[in-house]
Structure 1
Amino acid sequence: ALFVVLTITFVVLCNFLSRFCRLSIFCHFLFCFLWFVSFLVLLFREHSVSLLHSLKASSSRSGALGETALHVAVMSDNVDAAVALMDGAPELINEPMTSELFQGVTPLHIAVANQNMNLVYHLIGRGGDVATPRVTGLYFRKRIGGLLYCGEHILSFAACAGNEDIVSMVIDAGASTRIQDYRGNTLLHILVLQPNKTIACQAMDLILNRDAELDQPVPLDMVPNYRGLTPLKLAAKEGNLVAFQHLVNKRRVVQWSLGPLSSQLFDLTEIDSWADSMSVLELIVGSHQREARRILEVTPVRQLVSLKWNLYGKHYFSYVTYEDSLRLAGEVISVLGALLILLLEIPDILRVGARRYFGQTALGGPFHVILISYACLVVLLLVFRVCGVQGEAEVMAVCLVLGWCNVMFFARGFEMLGPYVIMIQKIIFGDLTKFMWLSFIVLIGFSTSLWMVYMTQEPDSIPSYRSFPITLFSQFELSVGLIDLPVDHTFTTPPIVHVLHVAFSVVSYILLLNLLIAMMSDTHWRVAQERDELWRTQVVATTLMLERRLPRCLWPRLGVCGLNYGLKERWYLR
């Protein structure tokens, strides 16, 4: 319509001027040019308006993952397209993704993760919310096999990316440093779980410095998650040696320095098991991560364990004086010892769970099976004696075997024998157990076949096969090489007997025995790589067990109180 009005006006004007004025060709050309320019301006304006309307209409549409056009522009790091979208459709700035995998992801999450400062600046400047949005999609949750865990909030994404300028920008825009995700993990917890440990430690320093400005009653590094783990405890449990050492050094106090010599106080809070039922030492002992055991070599954990062991741990494995020998004899022969074992072990089983208590090497798992079985059989022996039940000798024989086998448990307190006890545990309760199951199947099969054949022969012709139990035991002796082949060639035996003996010899001697040797060699090699670490872990586990058994009045707390040095009421190790 505007173009039609403009054309009519132009024609009338030209006719009027041509009648009353003499115009040159140049003037006519100038009028035509101005009319053409006006036409292009009007055409461009109409096209821009229609494009903007279509952009607003299409911007509200989402893709297969619930993303908008602004998500795509930010993910592609296209600043120009993102700015145009924000100016044309500002409602997209805080619009989250809606798919199950990417639920809650806003454009600001993506810009922060990609460390695009220009986009972060434009998004925050145009009203981007830095505090409320939370990512709840399955792709961003911590799970087994997951590739990405950066928390839920925008600030946690920024901290994991490690860009200090973006972290400061997000905090200045109103993000809280005390945010927690669905697991209760704070920013420090999330940084402990990041693969790039150097960047994570740098981000920890920045977050702690900014949080200190708030003057909170509880420091951020002391805030636990929903499992009761602080960042320091989580680093110990996950075996993050770098993060653990970094957090410990943040708490240390340097008393004085003289050239290469210095005096430092290390805070034992959360590390010492004296006042914490879920201390760092407890977590290291119960962790399945091999890296967690390496924390035992870190200052001050190594010095703390050494002090505990030398103070009261190693004395339980030494019998020097005459009184000690009497105490040892009393513990061996006393029936009260068996009852005491049950009273002491049952609370530990309930505390850590039967699976960990009997199955974990560091906690002495296989020896706990022996110890509980020994105590139960001693109590059963008393019942047999009181009730006059026959079979007391058999129970006592088993008790003696278990009791003497349990003596190996105390050998782990010595550096010379401890690692080899661990190796014996692994072989007996790993390789040998599997081998015995396979051997049992083979023995049952061949013993049944041979006994069926010998049933048709004279019972006294071959005593080793006169009954099925004896046949089974004879085959076992034959499989381990204790006896020669019990076949009397003066009697006529069916050919199938020779076939069965040959097959049994091949399966038992050549196959199963060599399989056991190969399994034991593999176990020996694997355990040899970490036997010293496992032994140190057992020392810590034994020390913690002894701490729980001692009365609190006889359980000294290690370290020095910080009040002596003008510090907080915490305990330090110098």
Structure 2
Amino acid sequence: MTSAGNKSDTGSNNFEVEDQTELMYTEDTIWTAVFSADKNAIEASIQKDPDVIYTRGAVGECPIHMLFLCGSDAHLEIARDLILRFPEITTQTYHKPIYYGENVLHIAIVKRNAEMVEWLLGTEELKPYRQELLTARATGDFFKIGQPSYYAESPLGFACGTNQWDIAEILLKYGADMNVVDSNRNNILHMLVICNLPEIYAKFKSRWLEKKLSIGIYDAFKNKGKKSKAVKQQTNLWNRLNNDNLTPLTLAADLSRTHMLSWLLNERKIVQWSYGDVSCVLHPLDQLDVDFQDDTAHQPLSVLDVIIKNNDTELVHPIITSLIDKKWKHFVHRVLVRRFAITFTYLMIFLVTTILEQTRPEKSEDDDGNDEKVEILDEHSDLIRISLCAVGRLIVISGALLKAGREIREMTTLGLRNYLNSTGSIFLENCLASSFCVCILIVQVLRLFDMQNDAVILAFASLLGWGYMFFFIMPFRFTGPFVIMIYKMLFNDVLRFCMIYTIFLAGFSQSFFILFNENGFRGYMVTIKQCFLGLLGDFDLDYYIEGTHPFISVSFLIFYVVVVTILLLNLLIAMMGDTYADVKKSAKKLWHLERARIAVDVEHGMSTAERKIKAHKYWVDVQGERYLQVEQVNNILFEAKDDAVEDD
């Protein structure tokens, strides 16, 4: 559905709600009687037309819904009477898009009326309608994900999502399904993460485990003495995926629920031993770390993947930090140093090859003022130069082809969209590496066909090649934040400044072009140059005074200097100052985030066999599951002080 369609639906819903309000104050209708809790008027309406209790209002409601919605003792007394007389109205639901699917049980739960919930489910006369009440789904626009009233559609979801465990207990007593999912396949635990309710999450999970255990004991007793059959193990509720391929844990990371994520990570931990204030703790790596044992193309994202994808420094939890540090200690550091050595050597060969290619005889003047060629190399030295140049060129071309092949494989593995949507250091690496390879290959094509301008492309490639070295200094705390500052200033502050300045430049350059009666496109380029020099404070006032319209020209110049040179430039400096302060404030978390990004990138480039090498093993195996073992002091993850972290 388009955004225009959504806006239209919202407008239509608003009109329906307004119509509902007007109906409440329209005399001689069932709605007026319901709103004022006039039992005699309601009875008279039913006597006149027995089908009036089935009538629908502006938003698809029935009279019984409005009685529950008003919720006073008088309204609920009338509602009980009508339900006992016409029990089928208990299962009536709203049938228009805004509140579609909502029934009286949903309303009673939201109104926090545990007594009425018990009555609806426990009354013997209503027993035939109990299951339909418990399984009704409120799927209207008012209850969609992202709305304040999203409670996973089911009555059990409504009770848990509104933090009413007493009502949830009532629903469970009468057979509510704990495995229920909504339209997005969110189970109750997903919804509790969205609603940020860790206490209810813990109670619901504990109750689900109790039920699972009781079912297991019952099945074991039932099958006692019978031949056992292989039974498919039920996936734990907290490990189940919704339609977005997220578990409750990874959903907390995706929604930036910092408190909920921290609580969930601590809730999963296993304490191995304690000694005074020191504890040895195991953290399960399933859902937390990249699952390299799952080779499927669309494997679920881990918490680490989500944090990197969303570029969210607020989610850099001490457990995440410890995981990143262990990856760096065991294999990432070695791999990155090796890559750095190879890249630096390659760039030095590229530099030497460029110098040798441009080594040629120099000219000097003799005593008579005539040009005289002076050979700076003898024939033997020149032959060595040509040989070294050929070897260097071959290495440069081969390196570019190998790197291009690797980037293409990465595009194929991740998909072009994910490759281009990468962020931080990986975005920098992808852009610079791809552009460098393309430039080197273009240069070779231009030289092959003896075309001009290869020097321009080669100069651009040189800049890209040495710029690639920034990738290697981003994960170190000493240099990383500084590179991030440059990156953010260029793509945020300077980019915004350039967009605004371009408008002023175009306007003032055209004005000066007209005032000075310049000639053609070349003249327009001269005025652009004059305006740009004015930005730097380098302008010739006499040039403007001696023009055809000196007063207007000088006035425009003064206005240009005030607005652009004084206002815009100082605004740019202020924005850069804010960026510097922001980056400095979150420098530690940004540093950890870039380390995580590079660690995951390195890991994706390794085969499953390489990752399982003992030297690369940063986890412990416990009964076939991977765990991260860390030490905690006073319940705080033990970490070396920042000053002791080596940036080697």
The answer for the alignment partner of 2:603 in structure 1 is 547
The answer for the alignment partner of 1:434 in structure 2 is 496
Q: Distance in 1 between matches of 2:605 and 2:485?
A: 27
The answer for the alignment partner of 2:248 in structure 1 is 231
Q: Distance in 2 between matches of 1:324 and 1:134?
A: 59
Q: Distance in 2 between matches of 1:320 and 1:133?
A: 58
Q: 1:139 aligns with which of 129, 135, 142?
A: 142
The answer for the alignment partner of 1:22 in structure 2 is none
* 1:421 shift after superposition: 1.4
Q: 2:314 aligns with which of 294, 304, 314?
A: 294
Q: Distance in 2 between matches of 1:320 and 1:344?
A: 13
Q: Distance in 2 between matches of 1:353 and 1:512?
A: 41
Q: 1:104 aligns with which of 101, 104, 108?
A: 101
Amino acid aligned to 1:71? H
* 1:147 shift after superposition: 1.4
Tell me which moved more, 340-349 or 48-57: 48-57
The answer for the alignment partner of 1:16 in structure 2 is none
The answer for the alignment partner of 2:589 in structure 1 is 533
Describe the superposition over 1:199-224 as per-residue Cα deviations: whole angstroms up to 9, x where unpaired: 44444443444355445521111111
Tell me which moved more, 424-433 or 194-203: 194-203
Q: 1:524 aligns with which of 556, 580, 590?
A: 580
The answer for the alignment partner of 1:42 in structure 2 is none
Amino acid aligned to 2:621? C
Amino acid aligned to 1:548? H
Amino acid aligned to 2:540? L
The answer for the alignment partner of 1:502 in structure 2 is 558
Which one has a bigger Cα radius of gyration? 1
Q: Distance in 2 between matches of 1:183 and 1:395?
A: 50
The answer for the alignment partner of 1:572 in structure 2 is 627
Residue 90 to residue 449, structure 1, CA distance change in 2 (3 Å) = closer
* 1:453 shift after superposition: 5.5
Residue 259 to residue 504, structure 1, CA distance change in 2 (3 Å) = closer
| Secondary structure in structure 2 of the residue aligned to 1:334 | helix
Q: How does 1:398-437 map to 2 (within 5 A)?
A: 398-437=460-499
Q: Is the 8 A contact 2:156 2:168 kept in 1?
A: yes
For the pair 1:153 / 2:154, whether they are aligned, the reply is yes
Q: Is the 8 A contact 1:418 1:535 kept in 2?
A: yes
The answer for the alignment partner of 1:71 in structure 2 is 65
* 1:154 shift after superposition: 1.4
Q: 1:371 aligns with which of 433, 451, 454?
A: 433
Residue 542 to residue 321, structure 1, CA distance change in 2 (3 Å) = closer
Q: Distance in 2 between matches of 1:553 and 1:102?
A: 54
Amino acid aligned to 2:456? E
Q: 1:307 aligns with which of 316, 326, 329?
A: 326
* 1:66 shift after superposition: 2.5
Amino acid aligned to 1:225? N
Amino acid aligned to 1:303? S
Query: What are the ranges of 5 or more consecutive residues in structure 1 without an aligned counterpart?
Result: 1-46, 460-464, 564-568
Q: Is the 8 A contact 1:113 1:158 kept in 2?
A: yes
Q: Distance in 1 between matches of 2:42 and 2:544?
A: 109
Q: Distance in 2 between matches of 1:160 and 1:322?
A: 55
The answer for the alignment partner of 1:282 in structure 2 is 305
Q: Is the 8 A contact 1:221 1:231 kept in 2?
A: yes
* 1:327 shift after superposition: 6.6
Root-mean-square deviation over aligned CA pairs: 3.6
* 1:148 shift after superposition: 1.5
Residue 397 to residue 236, structure 1, CA distance change in 2 (3 Å) = same
The answer for the alignment partner of 1:163 in structure 2 is 164
The answer for the alignment partner of 2:283 in structure 1 is 266
* 1:302 shift after superposition: 2.3
Describe the superposition over 1:213-256 as per-residue Cα deviations: whole angstroms up to 9, x where unpaired: 44552111111111211111111211223333443344433333
The answer for the alignment partner of 2:401 in structure 1 is 339
Amino acid aligned to 1:98? H
Q: Distance in 2 between matches of 1:490 and 1:106?
A: 81
Q: Is the 8 A contact 2:196 2:260 kept in 1?
A: no
Tell me which moved more, 322-331 or 236-245: 322-331
| Secondary structure in structure 1 of the residue aligned to 2:540 | coil
Q: Distance in 1 between matches of 2:429 and 2:116?
A: 61
| Secondary structure in structure 1 of the residue aligned to 2:135 | coil
Amino acid aligned to 2:286? T
| Secondary structure in structure 1 of the residue aligned to 2:586 | helix
Amino acid aligned to 2:237? L
Q: How does 1:325-336 map to 2 (within 5 A)?
A: 326=345, 329=348, 334-336=396-398
Q: Distance in 2 between matches of 1:560 and 1:433?
A: 47
For the pair 1:61 / 2:55, whether they are aligned, the reply is yes
Q: Is the 8 A contact 1:208 1:220 kept in 2?
A: no
* 1:170 shift after superposition: 1.5
The answer for the alignment partner of 2:187 in structure 1 is 186
Q: Distance in 2 between matches of 1:490 and 1:71?
A: 81
Q: Distance in 2 between matches of 1:502 and 1:435?
A: 20
The answer for the alignment partner of 1:173 in structure 2 is 174
Q: Is the 8 A contact 1:160 1:194 kept in 2?
A: yes
Amino acid aligned to 1:283? V
Q: Distance in 1 between matches of 2:543 and 2:266?
A: 78
Instruction: State the TM-score, normalizing by the size of structure 1.
Output: 0.78
Amino acid aligned to 2:189? L
Q: 1:244 aligns with which of 240, 261, 266?
A: 261
Residue 490 to residue 68, structure 1, CA distance change in 2 (3 Å) = closer
Q: Distance in 1 between matches of 2:408 and 2:341?
A: 32
* 1:426 shift after superposition: 1.2
Q: 2:234 aligns with which of 212, 217, 220?
A: 217
The answer for the alignment partner of 1:206 in structure 2 is 207
* 1:151 shift after superposition: 0.9
* 1:395 shift after superposition: 1.1
Q: How does 1:467-482 map to 2 (within 5 A)?
A: 467-481=523-537
Amino acid aligned to 1:206? R
Tell me which moved more, 436-445 or 264-273: 436-445
Describe the superposition over 1:89-117 as per-residue Cα deviations: whole angstroms up to 9, x where unpaired: 11111111222211111111122233322
Q: Distance in 2 between matches of 1:89 and 1:488?
A: 94
Amino acid aligned to 1:227? D
The answer for the alignment partner of 2:453 in structure 1 is 391
The answer for the alignment partner of 2:375 in structure 1 is none
Amino acid aligned to 1:550? M
* 1:558 shift after superposition: 3.0
* 1:279 shift after superposition: 1.7
Q: Distance in 2 between matches of 1:512 and 1:361?
A: 29
Tell me which moved more, 229-238 or 488-497: 488-497
For CA contacts below 8 A with separation 6 or more, give which structure has more relative contact order: 2
* 1:527 shift after superposition: 3.7
Q: Distance in 1 between matches of 2:478 and 2:109?
A: 54
Q: Is the 8 A contact 2:100 2:140 kept in 1?
A: yes
| Secondary structure in structure 2 of the residue aligned to 1:263 | strand
Tell me which moved more, 345-354 or 418-427: 345-354
Work out the percentage of aligned pairs sharing the same amino acid. Answer: 27
Tell me which moved more, 367-376 or 185-194: 367-376
Q: Distance in 2 between matches of 1:369 and 1:437?
A: 22
Q: Distance in 2 between matches of 1:402 and 1:328?
A: 11
Q: Is the 8 A contact 2:513 2:527 kept in 1?
A: yes
In the alignment of these two chains, the number of paired residues is 511
The answer for the alignment partner of 1:255 in structure 2 is 272
Residue 370 to residue 485, structure 1, CA distance change in 2 (3 Å) = farther
Q: Distance in 1 between matches of 2:399 and 2:558?
A: 51
Amino acid aligned to 1:59? I
Tell me which moved more, 439-448 or 236-245: 439-448
| Secondary structure in structure 2 of the residue aligned to 1:183 | coil
